[in-house]
Structure 1
Amino acid sequence: MRQVRSGGLLIEVRGDTAQVEAIRAEVARSAGEEVSVKSLQAMTMVEVRDLDQWSTSEEVSGAINAATDADQAAIRVLSIRQQFGGTQAAVILVSRDVAGKLLASGRLK
């Protein structure tokens, strides 16, 4: 815990997103409504390749959700672009733990 240049208080918490969110909610409840409480987490960009030409961003985020059990709101599809041979590639932004689960699963269906 330390004070930042702007005068705010920075509390670093290690753990999964559920633990961080629980601590954030408790601090927000204790501090009151006049204080803003934000939580930051490391995000990772992942490229998903060889999508068929009709895949949409909703389908990609749904497949990632099914493969990793991640919250649908935590999956952000940044872009889907055409590639050669009638395929597409999607660039997604997810948290590091979701990216690790996604890479461990290997394939999306």
Structure 2
Amino acid sequence: MMVSGHQAVPRGSQSRHMQLSMGDQLRSQTRVVASPQHHSPSLGPGYLQQSQYDADLQFQQFISQNLSLLNDDEKAIAKMHIQKILMDARFGQGTCLRIMQEEEMASQGDAGAPS
């Protein structure tokens, strides 16, 4: 069992706890970045860029802190999920899944081919 913040989290549910915490973190970052646009249009674009940079940096630190709490297998899985999110964001929804399926079919084809 691991103590995280004010809650005791069973070791097996760390990944789920991290996902929930990351979701909360993303929601708060969205508010920070979005609020100047709606409430104070007189703020310049430099402020929004700095605000986005601060939110990105805070998110990176959050990920790093949580990864340091995981064992190697949990880290590999968490990094794989992060990579999937980044690929889908960059190349479109479902890209990562499609690539994984294509590679699986290719490896099955290689395994079935005569040597």
Q: Tell me which interval the TM-score lies in, with the shorter structure as reference length.
A: under 0.3
Would you tell me which structure has more strand in proportion to its own residues? 1
Greater Cα radius of gyration, structure 1 or 2: 2
**TM-score, normalised via structure 2 length:** 0.22
Q: If the length of structure 1 is used for normalisation, what is the TM-score?
A: 0.23
**Greater helix percent: which structure?**
2
